[in-house]
Amino acid sequence: MPLGGVIFITIFIAVFGYILIRLARLTGGKAVKTSQAKFDIYECGIPVQEKKDTKISVKFYLTAILFILFDIEIIFMYPWAANFKNFLTSGNGPFVFGAMAFFLAVFIFGLWWEIKSKALEWD
């Protein structure tokens, strides 16, 4: 796409967005403050009773981060496995295999570290 097309699309999106925002403001009207209860946060009718000293264990965050990390690594392995045959036919098989071997080494080291440091033990 030539640069003129990109500039045209950018200007079109900006103008169209501005028109939609102005139209929503003109047709929407203003909120009338009838009572404070109307603007309070609603959670099943229970008044908010938040404690300022609520402590959440770091184990929850660590478990979530480790799950996301290993989940993303597994997701990267699937397209590699699906396309590895194409890389072999094009002659790039050894390079791609080496890259995945390095990736798997980092993955296995991370898994070994996680087990060794007992990151998922809750005792």
* Mean model confidence pLDDT for the chain: 83
pLDDT tens-place string over residues 56-74:
777 788 888 888 888 888 8
Residues 49 and 21: their CA atoms lie apart, in Å, by 37
Confirm if 84 and 93 have CB atoms less than 8 A apart.
Answer: yes
Full DSSP string of 27-85: HH-------GGGGS--STTPPP---TT----HHHHHHHHHHHHHHHHHHHHHHHHHHHH
Domain ranges of the chain: 58-116
Query: Average pLDDT for residues 73-85, to the nearest whole number?
Result: 87
Confirm if 103 and 76 have CB atoms less than 8 A apart.
Answer: yes
As given in the structure block, the two tokens for residue 5 are: 């097309």
Which residue carries 């796409």 as its tokens?
Answer: 1
pLDDT tens-place string over residues 11-22:
999 999 999 999
Reply yes or no on whether the pLDDT at 1 is more than 60.
Answer: no
Reply yes or no on whether the pLDDT at 50 is more than 80.
Answer: no
Higher pLDDT, 33 or 61: 61
Confirm if 114 and 73 have CB atoms less than 8 A apart.
Answer: no
Confirm if 62 and 119 have CB atoms less than 8 A apart.
Answer: yes
